[in-house]
């Protein structure tokens, strides 16, 4: 697409943006609001045609702030699904004019095959679902997430715009955690900043009520899962960022997001964070001397010991998962662990009864009590979620869903590992290695936390998948554009 055409699209967009502003002044609020929304949709198409990565950035912002759910709660239509359609259509228009779609798809072929198979398995589970409505909702949500994945893949076609998308995620997450930090430090829990900073008051230790940060998604445990997946993206920049001001920002961002994670009181998040930091310091950041890595972990341990008693009690509750002195397991002493044990066993029983297609996508909650009564670990009579992505996948979609979903994860990690090896052999692009490795640790951290949480907000996971698939494509294209003579031996030093 020529610059002249781009200018024409921009001028039309400015004109339509003005029309949208005028529409908001119409006396009838509904007509003005929907009229403005329609005109802004056209503006979005125009802008994305000119600058495709803008569409990916808008989707990332909408998803990470969860603003669509907030608008829906206030009586407005959902904006995510129509936004995906609008942006995807704009990218297809861009491709028609400029040839935008990625090439060299072989590198992610296995990932995409597993992804399609997973969607098919979720689709097939509809036939056996007792609650067809929930199954259909799960199917639609997965279809939307796959559309978002491909929209990001088609929209981000340069390394610079890919990095921009990651920086947007870091910036948005930091800003959301700052809102939570304000609530905790000021004690002003009634101010939720238009739903961007939710607080949940619960009893987490010794019967005392505690204010837990839930971010924009209202659930502290789920928000902790998101934060622990973003922290590696920030941490790798601390060790590899050369610009002093940017390094200072990422150090501050790490502290703010870490404070947010701490105040979610998510034990799964705590455990995933510890594992991800160990992986980063001892496996992926090999330029860090082992003595320095041990020192960092030592300082972290001292910091944990100096935390207020509420946090320490939450950390110590993880010891319930360890064998007791008498040789038994203390897991049933904690009501939360007892409930999750019941949910785990119920999920396995569902799989045993429905091994091929499961009980149906989204149907774990309405199937739970049938099995919980047989297990007898807890007395709660309401519907319960799986509280483990692994349990949920195998219970709801059976062996077909489990193989395909975990096939996506394993193929993705293998693809990122291959991309890391490719970058190591291209000295000109060696600075990409920390970005690749940060995604690898981020995916691992998410999957560790997912062992204790179901898929209620799995859209964040699919954003990470989209960024991973896109980066694999971009590195593959870089490899194709670099002559064989420019490749360094595999034993190339990684020192920068």
How is the chain split into domains, by residue range? 1-101, 106-155+343-496, 189-307
Question: Rounded to the nearest 10 degrees, how much is the dihedral formed by the CA atoms of 469, 474, 480, 481?
Answer: 180
- The pLDDT value given to residue 73: 75
- The pLDDT value given to residue 449: 94
- Out of 115-124, 172-181, 450-459, pick the least confident: 450-459
Per the CB < 8 A criterion, the answer to whether 149 and 462 are in contact is: yes
% of the chain surpassing 70 pLDDT: 77
* Interval 147-173: pLDDT, tens: 899 989 888 989 999 999 999 999 999
* Interval 182-223: pLDDT, tens: 999 998 988 888 889 998 888 776 667 888 999 998 899 999
User: If you average pLDDT over residues 102-131, what whole number do you get?
Assistant: 88
- Out of 34-43, 114-123, 248-257, 313-322, pick the least confident: 34-43
Per the CB < 8 A criterion, the answer to whether 220 and 213 are in contact is: yes
14-23: burial string, b at 16+ Cβ within 10 Å, e else:
eebbebbeeb
Q: Is the pLDDT of residue 269 over 60?
A: yes
- The pLDDT value given to residue 328: 44
Name the residue among 194, 198, 204 with its Cα closest to residue 260.
198
Q: Is the pLDDT of residue 13 over 70?
A: no
- Out of 49-53, 129-133, 270-274, 283-287, pick the least confident: 49-53
d(CA 164, CA 51): 13
- The pLDDT value given to residue 302: 77
Burial class (CB in 10 A: 0-12, 13-18, 19+), 7: exposed
User: With bands split at pLDDT 50, 70 and 90, how would you rate the model's confidence at 341?
Assistant: confident
d(CA 351, CA 371): 11
DSSP 143-205: HHHHHHHHHHHHH--SHHHHHHHHHHHHHHHHHHHHHHHHHHHH--TT--TTTTSEEEEEEEE
- The pLDDT value given to residue 384: 86
Q: What is the chain's percent helix, strand, coil content, to nearest 5?
A: 75, 5, 20
Burial class (CB in 10 A: 0-12, 13-18, 19+), 203: exposed
CA distances from 192 to 43, 197, 259 (A): 30, 5, 18
User: If you average pLDDT over residues 438-459, what whole number do you get?
Assistant: 93
User: With bands split at pLDDT 50, 70 and 90, how would you rate the model's confidence at 285?
Assistant: confident
Q: Within 13 A of 6's CA, how many CA atoms are on the CB side? A: 8
d(CA 387, CA 254): 27
315-344: burial string, b at 16+ Cβ within 10 Å, e else:
bebeebeeeeeeeeebeeebeebebbbbbb
Q: What single DSSP character describes residue 431?
A: G
Q: What single DSSP character describes residue 106?
A: G
294-309: burial string, b at 16+ Cβ within 10 Å, e else:
eeeeeeeeeeeeeeee
CA 66 to chain centre: 12
Q: What angle do CA 475, 476, 477 make, to 5 degrees?
A: 90
C-alpha gyration radius of the chain: 24
CA distances from 401 to 122, 404, 449 (A): 7, 5, 20
User: With bands split at pLDDT 50, 70 and 90, how would you rate the model's confidence at 397?
Assistant: very high
Name the residue among 485, 480, 491, 492 with its Cα closest to residue 106.
480
Sole residue written with tokens 């597993």? 114
User: With bands split at pLDDT 50, 70 and 90, how would you rate the model's confidence at 40?
Assistant: low
DSSP 3-state assignment of 213?
A: strand
Q: Is the pLDDT of residue 306 over 50?
A: yes
- The pLDDT value given to residue 493: 36
Cβ-Cβ contacts under 8 Å for 19 (sequence gap 6 or more)? 39
Q: Is the pLDDT of residue 234 over 60?
A: yes
């Amino acid at each position: 697409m020529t610059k002249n055409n781009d200018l024409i699209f921009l001028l039309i967009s400015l004109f339509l943006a003005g029309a949208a502003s005028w529409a908001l002044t119409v006396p009838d609020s509904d007509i003005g609001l929907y009229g403005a929304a329609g005109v802004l949709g056209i503006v979005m198409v125009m802008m994305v045609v000119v600058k495709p990565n803008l569409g990916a950035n808008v989707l990332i912002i909408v998803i990470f702030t969860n603003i669509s759910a907030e608008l829906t709660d206030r009586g407005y239509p959902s904006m995510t699904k129509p936004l995906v359609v609008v942006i995807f259509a704009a990218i297809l228009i861009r491709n028609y004019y400029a040839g935008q779609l990625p090439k060299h798809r072989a590198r992610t072929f296995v990932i995409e095959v597993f992804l399609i198979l997973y969607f098919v398995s979720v689709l097939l589970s509809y036939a056996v679902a007792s609650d067809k409505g929930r199954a259909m909702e799960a199917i639609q949500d997965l279809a939307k997430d796959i559309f978002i994945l491909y929209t990001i893949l088609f929209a981000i076609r340069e390394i610079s715009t890919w990095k921009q998308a990651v920086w947007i995620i870091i910036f948005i997450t930091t800003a959301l955690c700052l809102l939570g930090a304000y609530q905790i430090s000021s004690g002003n829990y009634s101010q939720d900043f238009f739903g961007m900073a939710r607080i949940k008051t619960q009893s987490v230790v010794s019967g005392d009520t505690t204010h837990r940060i839930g971010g924009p998604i209202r659930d502290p445990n789920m928000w902790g899962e998101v934060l622990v997946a973003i922290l590696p993206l920030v941490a790798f920049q601390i060790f590899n960022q050369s610009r002093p001001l940017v390094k200072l920002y990422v150090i501050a961002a790490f502290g703010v997001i870490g404070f947010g994670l701490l105040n979610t009181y998510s034990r799964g998040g705590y455990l995933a964070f510890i594992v991800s930091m160990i992986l980063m310091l001892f496996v992926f950041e090999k330029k860090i001397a082992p003595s320095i890595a041990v020192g960092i972990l030592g300082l972290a341990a001292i910091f944990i010991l100096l935390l207020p008693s509420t946090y320490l009690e939450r950390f110590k509750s993880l010891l319930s998962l360890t064998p007791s002195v008498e040789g038994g397991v203390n897991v049933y002493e904690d009501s939360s662990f007892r409930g999750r044990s019941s949910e785990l066993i119920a999920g396995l029983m569902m799989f045993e009864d429905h091994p091929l297609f499961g009980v149906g996508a989204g149907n774990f909650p309405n199937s739970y009590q049938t099995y919980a009564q047989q297990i007898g670990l807890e007395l709660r009579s309401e519907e319960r979620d799986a509280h483990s992505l692994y349990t949920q996948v195998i219970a709801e979609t059976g062996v077909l869903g489990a193989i395909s979903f975990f096939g996506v994860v394993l193929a993705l990690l293998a693809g990122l590992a291959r991309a890391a090896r490719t970058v190591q052999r291209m000295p000109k692009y060696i600075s990409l290695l920390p970005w690749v490795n940060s995604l690898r640790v981020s995916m691992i951290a998410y999957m560790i936390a997912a062992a204790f949480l179901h898929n209620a907000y799995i859209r964040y996971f699919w954003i990470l998948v989209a960024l991973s698939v896109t980066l694999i494509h971009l590195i593959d294209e870089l490899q194709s554009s670099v002559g064989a003579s420019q490749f360094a031996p595999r034993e190339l030093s990684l020192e920068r």
